[in-house]
Structure 1
């Protein structure tokens, strides 16, 4: 017999409703207005690490539509149109992501702050999450410093072979092969994140430029870094923030680089989003933005063992 009941207890779902109300009240107090953009769109991300869910023959068209992995592109079009500070509570979709911390459909809080730098945005994220968690403080660490202190390894100057050797000391990699970012990611997940589990609310910033995604890059202490941060709470990754890239030419080059990687990996190429590039050409205001997983935040708040325990209906019951 099919289990028709919710994945989460009703008490947790009431807490979920309170969380959504608290988020909306937070932004209302700060004059940030809520927007609502399409879930189905003509384009999707080129990022080789993300696969969208696809709807074929949508609306009678031969072209597919994509369930959005985040509302970022559409929100940036609003910013370029002069919206000012905006936020959205959106359902987002990512294929092949299911497990304790993942569900193919999840709830994402995303917001953008024109005129706010990355330090200011980290402060605002802390202002939001600390009271919700009943905590008093957060910490900030540079990506480079964490690797030096935890692994006695400089992630910017170590050779690929050094990084691979360090990763193999942390985890059984079998016959795994790959580039520099693969080894950095393995070291982050298997060596750094376990240390963060004891550190409470932590922001990591100034990632390698190769991991910039849609963030600007800058030079710091002789190395190029991405103006990007991630938020961890008790070792759980909850948010990803950028000083947003506004250069249409650079964004186009990054899209092309993503598609080269997709070809190398045997993945389908993705058509670049001309709407986004045109919006950047028109002029994206200097701004910072962040996406925060609300389901994961509620997990931490409730002490829930898995994502399905805080969702009305998880993937298996939807």
Structure 2
């Protein structure tokens, strides 16, 4: 069972002069996408007992997600208020003292034996105490479980860039797979082009660094020759949740191929990586073809 650990929140999206609440959060989206793809998946993140918490629970339950590791709390759900400035989305976060923000390192449990891999990342890595909690989760388990990290860097959310860079410098060497968008790589290494930046990250210790670029497709940097998979052509409604769904497709493919394990990843082939990138692209294409973070169910995937 794959454990996803990281933020869930409510996006307050402008609609007809008011705001429409939508369940979201990068790690939450990947969790739901994995469940819809038919994977065994568990979620670790505090969920409020408020009405927004109930809104977050519904898609998790519908997708068959195990929420045994989700503590319930009376603290409020994080809200992300989205406004538009000349067509560009601008976010304001209502996060102080929220259910997720206050997850502490002492709240991280010993993981049950049925957990076989960890996916983590998102803005949950940035503030404390929750950032320290996710760091603790990885630190305690990376020697026995494969870790897939997607930092999903959002510069507007980072108040202390040196501290966040230091956290990534501690976490990335403990990870097996790190996924970074072109924008992420530009933030990490502004003086390098994306492939050079990805190689820098690879030198920190991961077995695979995935570089994504939307319509430009994806690239996997590893011990062999760089593996590339094109984006799937489709009519784009919006790109919300595309990268999160890509992550789910990659994880699902690796698990189905039997290479989502510490030893198995050490012997992975270029063909197996290509298959994972391809499933990720196929899943993401469905998500971008419809409004919002609405990842595909397995029966909606090509070949089903």
Instruction: Name the TM-score class by shorter chain.
Output: under 0.3
What's the TM-score once normalised by structure 1's chain length?
A: 0.25
What's the TM-score once normalised by structure 2's chain length?
A: 0.26
Specify the structure having the higher radius of gyration (Cα).
Answer: 1
